[in-house]
């Protein structure tokens, strides 16, 4: 079972550990979010395709469908938590007095 999300996150953080500015020059927050959204979307589509294939009677192992669905659920849960943290940070900045 591949842990693509963990590998992507650890790969993105690996250059940043050597120096705070080194490796972060070409990476911005929007690109990281876009890549994460694309990965979540791809996982949801793959799970949906497998469920439809199983429902239509194709030869597909039920445990593979369940694994795909669980991975999609975990990716979506992570995405929602990231969104919640970003909204909380924005609200905290909005409450600051200048």
pLDDT, one tens digit per residue, over 77-86 is 999 999 999 9
SS3 1: coil
The two three-digit tokens of residue 1, written as one number: 């079972």
- Spatial separation of the C-alpha atoms in residues 58 and 67, rounded to whole Å: 17
Helices and strands (H and E) in the chain: how many: 3, 0
Answer for the pair 75, 39: CB distance below 8 angstroms, yes or no. Answer: yes
Task: Say if pTM beats, i.e. exceeds, 0.75.
Answer: no
The residue ranges of DSSP E strands in the chain, in sequence order, are none
Per the structure block, which two tokens stand in for 83? 């969104």
The mean predicted confidence, pLDDT, of the chain is 82
């Amino acid at each position: 079972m591949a842990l693509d999300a963990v590998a992507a996150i650890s790969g993105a953080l690996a250059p940043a550990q050597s120096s705070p500015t080194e490796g972060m020059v070409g990476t911005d927050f929007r690109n990281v979010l876009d890549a994460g959204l694309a990965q979540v979307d791809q996982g949801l589509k793959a799970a949906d395709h497998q469920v439809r294939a199983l429902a239509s009677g194709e030869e597909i192992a039920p445990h593979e469908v369940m694994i795909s669905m669980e991975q999609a659920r975990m990716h979506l849960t992570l995405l929602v938590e990231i969104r919640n943290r970003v909204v909380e940070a924005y609200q905290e900045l909005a409450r600051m007095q200048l």
